[in-house]
Every structure is written in structure tokens, then in C-alpha cells.
Structure 1
Amino acid sequence: MTTVPTSRERPTLLDVARTAGVSPATASRVLNGFHQVRPETRRQVEKAMAELGYARRRSTRDTEPERTGSIAFIVCEEGTRVFSDPFFARVLWGASRELAPTGMQLVLLMLRSPQDYQTAAVRYLRGGSVDGALLVSMHGRYPIDLEDVSVPVVFCGCPIGPDAEKLCYVDADNRGGAERAVRYLINSGRRVIATIAGPGDMAVGVDRLAGYRAALLDAGLFDPRLISYGDFGQSSGDHAVQLLLDRRPDVDAIFCASDLMAAGALRALRRHGRRVPQDIAVVGFDDSPIARQTEPQLTTVRQPIEEMGGLMVRELLTLIQTPAPHRRRAVLDTQLVVRESA
């Protein structure tokens, strides 16, 4: 049975939450206009507010929500991966550069497993320590229930799942970039084109594999035995090449879903006595600093990583300042950079 305050009492936000059958945090999100609330839940809260005659009390000094002056940069990867893969440093640098003129702080939070999204991340974001969050390197489907947090969130890359189109994210054209790279290999005369794909539980891995497959299907050259998988790290590229050569010794090109995996592939090919690009062409993805340090220098797909970090911050600041429904989905162009490896 719901307890309704008497006429002599002014109803509180807690009263509204109890009447609506929701948590105080959810009632607060409805009151502050955050869009990460289901329509049915919003209607319940608004109905409770009307029934109780709830009116938000504001003093002359309390005209805006209190701000912490900080936003979280949340990464779900092992620390060794975060500090060895230049992608994370570049997107963090882009975000920091964009945030610097505002005087706000950027707080780095590293999570070890996807399960931590629903525990450590939610607990942290509900704690009132930050005004919003940037989520990077998401694994799995719909990695965090945004109704569990009371701050706006922007994703780096499109999350996997049916609700992805309801979220705010910034991404690169991963599928288009991969397809362009593979078509370049086909037009260069390569016919047995393998790939070292990224993780299947990340949209970036799924999209780059889809671009590879589309180009080869269109040319009538697709063979599922030419697909191997890695984790975007260098060692996984080395290991994948050995598997590919065992399956198809006649492979004459490899499209790698990251530059680090491409660097590992080059190392394995040297060990097997395969010349690049004479025997096997190699193409990476990212255009990270390592692409210009390999021997030979790496042909790769450039994605605007620093620009993605900056745009994520701009989108998040918009959500913080105007917590109205805002579901911008930005996809930035990629570019093929031809060097010596293909």
C-alpha cells in the first residue's frame, strides 16, 4: 500500500518515487529531463507527481542542477591492453583536448570485464562523482542499462544490440573502410584474400568483417576458411597467420582489422619466409603510429581517432547542458592510406 503525504506535508521526491513504484534515482532522471528513461516509466512518475501535487523547490541560487565539473572516461579492457594499444591514448587525447577549454576534469576508469559494466560502472555513475560518461571499447549486447545511471552517456562506437539506435554514439565507417581496403586488394590482382577479424562481441569487429565479406562476395572470391580471429593485439595477429597458412598455403593477401594485428602478421610472415608484398600483401586498419614503423611500412585504413574523441566530448557536453531527448549518431569517414605492404 502506497503512503501518500497528508495535506499539511509537502510531498518529496521520495514520495513521488514510492507512489510511482520506482527508485528515487529514476524519479530524479524524469524530473531533470534525462532521456534514458522508458516512456512507461516516465508516465508513471509524471502521474505520481500530478497525484501528489509535487512541485520542485528551487531557491534563487538553485536554478540549475549541481555540477561536479568532471566526466568519466570508462574503458572495458585489461590495463596491459589499454596502455599497449595506441587507439586508447589517441581517443583519450582527442577527448582531453576538447575538454581542456571548459575547465572540466576527465576521470579514467578501467574495467576488467564486461560484467563490471553492471556493477562497478553503474555504481560509480550513480555515485554523483561525474556529470556524464564516455564509454569506450564496449563488449557484448547493450553493455549498460542507462536507466541504472542518472548521467548522460556517449559511446565510442555503436554498441551491439536492438537498442543501439536509441543511444548516442560516435563511430567510424568501419564497414566502408574495410570494404574499400579489400576492393583495393582485388583490383591489385589478389585472389586469395584472408582476414584477421576483430572480436565478434564488438561492433567494430563485426562491421569490419562485414565489409571484408561484402567485397569478396561481390567479386565471387569469398571463402569462409580464409577468416581467422584476433583480439586487436599484436600476438593474436601472429597466431592467426599461422592458422591461415595451415588452411590455405596459397593465400596472397591478408586484411587485418587493426594495425597491431597487421604488425603481428608481418612478423609471422617473415618467420615463414613469405615476402611482403611480393608473396602476400598486408593491409591494416587504424593508421596508428606503428603503421609507419613496420618493415615494410603498412598500407592501412585511417580512421579519425582523435576527432572521434573530441566529438564524443562535444556530444556529451550538449547532453549535460540540455538533458532533453538527444540521440545523435555520428559516423565519421575513413580513408585508405597506401604504403609499401600492399
Structure 2
Amino acid sequence: MNMTLREIAELAGVSPSAVSRYLNGGSLSAAKYEAIDKVIKETGYVPNQVAHDLRTGRVRQVGILVPKIHSKSVSQVVEGAHEVLAKAGYMTVLGSLEHAPESVGQYLEWMQAYHMAGAIVMAANDADVRNGTFQNCDIPLVVTGQHFKDFNCVYHDDWGAAKDLTNLLLKRGRTRIGCISGPKTDPAVGINRIEGVKAALWEAGFTPAPPTVVSDFHMASGYEAMKQLLADRPDIDGVFCATDSMGQGAMMALKEAGKKVPEDVSVVAFGNDWANLVSSPQLTTAELYQTQCGRDAAAILLDILEKGSDPEYTRQIKLGYRIVERGSV
């Protein structure tokens, strides 16, 4: 039924301002809330969102920028964010940077031009900080998966998880450990995780830095990186891979080289991807709480939209992890 806010108020026996407070989550007495709620349910009333957006100058939409679509971690972050935002009456608009990783700034400019309420950026890297992309953004912004001290963010304990995975390798008697890393432009993957490996090795008395091959995030790249590690260090007996996809590729290269996993070489990785369950052996990994990451990012964004931003205060949350031990160690 196409009704006006004033008509809803008349049927409920309240003022139009009371209906407005109901629709916007404002304070109401229990009696007024129940009366308005009953009328809205009986009439099937749907608020005119376009009119609301025109009055406030803000569209109840939040943009989510992701590095790629076909990823378990991405889908979990988006799921968590959408869950929280939808309950608050916000729609989500997804933007993928898989084929244009340098266009974070362009996406944010587009979101501002369309008066979106805010943005969640999962595809951030250190270049976005250096070149002022985030600093120049005029809508509320929350970064996920990276820890940038001057920005609102939800990030993971990548260092701690990598250290624990390396300690697991050491516990299995592995002493000649190599790394397959991500690029340093992604600080969480390319720096923090490798520093966690180094910390575990240093505490165990292994002072030289582990041999490391920098790769990207794909299985084929992990395969090539493992071949390079074997060429440089044929006696390697443990491998830390910064992502599960690279770990899967590494195990393929090891098998091709006649190395048994885990008898000859143990392999650990990051992400707890579905493919780990069907590999042989199943891959030991660190699971990050990606769905919670999305929920927390959305909650921070909603808090900023309600209370306003403070340049002297950033909202930051660090999430834990879970080591999932399987057959590859």
C-alpha cells in the first residue's frame, strides 16, 4: 500500500515526528513503538528512501572494494559487512580491483560523486597511504586486512599467526625452512607474515634470514616459487607459504620433484581455503576470522556515520586467528 508518513501517523494515533523517529531508530515510548510497528506491518508500508536521501544529501549505500571476486576471504568479509549494514538499512555496492589494482582512488571518487555514505576497502596497500588516496577521501572509510595507524581499520594478527606456524614446523624438527612470500606492497602478507617467521626462527637460534621467494597470490606462482626454492636450497625441509593458493602450488612442485609431504618437506600456509580439504595431504594453515572482520568494519563505519569522525581518534580492531593442523606437517 502506497501511504505517506502522515497517514501512518494518523492510523497509529501518533505524531508524524514519532513515525520519523521510529523509522530512523530514534527514542520512543514502548506504547508508541508498538502502535507504529503494528500499523506498518498491517499496511506493508515501505519508506520513500529516495526522498530521505534527497533530504539528507546521503545515499544509504556503502561501497566495498575488494581485490578480487573469486576468493573465500573476500566473500566472508563481504558477507559479514552486508549482514551488519543490511540490518541498519544500508545497501552494499561491490567494486572489484582484480583487473585494475591501481584504481582505488578512482572508485572512491566515484563513491563520493554518488553521495555514498561510506566505504570499506579490503584491497588497500601501502601505496594508497603514500599517494594520499585515503587522506583525500571525503566519505567515512574503513580499511580491512591492513594496519595503517592513521586510519580506521580492522586487521589480523598476521605476525603472530606466522610465528605460530613456524614454531609448528620447528616442533616437527624442521631446521631448513624457506618462505614463499607475497609482495611487500601488501604489508600484511608481504611483510608482517615474513617477520613472524623470522621472529620464530630467531628465538629458536636460527639467525640467518630464511631463503625467501617473492610471489603473488596464485597457485601457479606458488608452484614456480617452490621450484626456485628447491633450485637454491635442495635440502629444504620446511616451507612457509604466505597464502593457501601458493601453498597448494608449492606442494605440487614438491611432488613433481619427488619430495614427499610431509615426510621430506613440511608445508604450512595462510587462509584455510576450501581447497585445503581436498588436497593430498590436506594443508596445515592459519584461519583468519574474515566474517568477523567484515562485521567489525561495518560496525565501525556505522559508528562514524552516527557520531561523526574525529581526526584525532581512529577506530582500530585487531583480530586473532586459529591454527588448523592437518597432514602437511
- Please give the TM-score of this superposition, normalised by the length of structure 2: 0.77
- Aligned residue number for residue 229 of structure 2: 244
> What count of residue pairs does the alignment treat as equivalent?
271
Query: Could you tell me how far apart the structure 2 residues matched to 1:297 and 1:115 are?
Result: 35
Secondary structure of 1:131's counterpart equals: strand
The question of whether the paired residues in 1 share the 8 Å contact of 2:155 and 2:319 is answered with: yes
Secondary structure of 2:116's counterpart equals: coil
The question of whether the paired residues in 2 share the 8 Å contact of 1:68 and 1:129 is answered with: yes
Secondary structure of 1:132's counterpart equals: strand
- Aligned residue number for residue 27 of structure 1: none
- Aligned residue number for residue 30 of structure 1: none
Secondary structure of 2:224's counterpart equals: helix
Query: Could you tell me how far apart the structure 1 residues matched to 2:165 and 2:112 are?
Result: 43
Q: Give runs of aligned pairs for residues 185-204 of structure 1, distance below 5 A.
A: 185-204=169-188
Q: Give runs of aligned pairs for residues 62-101 of structure 1, distance below 5 A.
A: 65-75=56-66, 77=67, 82-101=68-87
Change (3 A) 1:148 1:171: same
The question of whether the paired residues in 2 share the 8 Å contact of 1:152 and 1:319 is answered with: yes
Query: Could you tell me how far apart the structure 2 residues matched to 1:287 and 1:86 are?
Result: 9
Query: Could you tell me how far apart the structure 2 residues matched to 1:225 and 1:334 are?
Result: 23
Of 198, 201, 211, the residue aligned with 1:216 is 201
Change (3 A) 1:239 1:279: same
Change (3 A) 1:282 1:198: same
Secondary structure of 1:126's counterpart equals: helix
Extract unaligned runs of 5+ from structure 2: 1-51
- Please give the TM-score of this superposition, normalised by the length of structure 1: 0.75
Secondary structure of 1:240's counterpart equals: helix
Query: Could you tell me how far apart the structure 2 residues matched to 1:255 and 1:272 are?
Result: 18
Change (3 A) 1:147 1:211: closer
- In the alignment, structure 1 residue 341 sits paired with structure 2 residue 325: no
Task: Give aligned-pair identity as a percent.
Answer: 28
The question of whether the paired residues in 1 share the 8 Å contact of 2:62 and 2:118 is answered with: yes
Extract unaligned runs of 5+ from structure 1: 1-60
Query: Could you tell me how far apart the structure 1 residues matched to 2:324 and 2:193 are?
Result: 16
Query: Could you tell me how far apart the structure 1 residues matched to 2:252 and 2:69 are?
Result: 21
- Aligned residue number for residue 314 of structure 2: 327
The question of whether the paired residues in 2 share the 8 Å contact of 1:195 and 1:228 is answered with: yes
Change (3 A) 1:147 1:284: closer
Q: How far apart are 1:208 and its partner, in Å?
A: 0.3
- Aligned residue number for residue 277 of structure 1: 262
Query: Could you tell me how far apart the structure 1 residues matched to 2:210 and 2:327 are?
Result: 27
Amino acid corresponding to residue 146 of structure 2 in structure 1: C
- Aligned residue number for residue 289 of structure 2: 304
Change (3 A) 1:236 1:223: farther
The question of whether the paired residues in 2 share the 8 Å contact of 1:131 and 1:152 is answered with: yes
Secondary structure of 1:145's counterpart equals: coil
Residue range with higher mean Cα deviation, 139-148 or 248-257: 139-148
Of 124, 128, 152, the residue aligned with 1:168 is 152
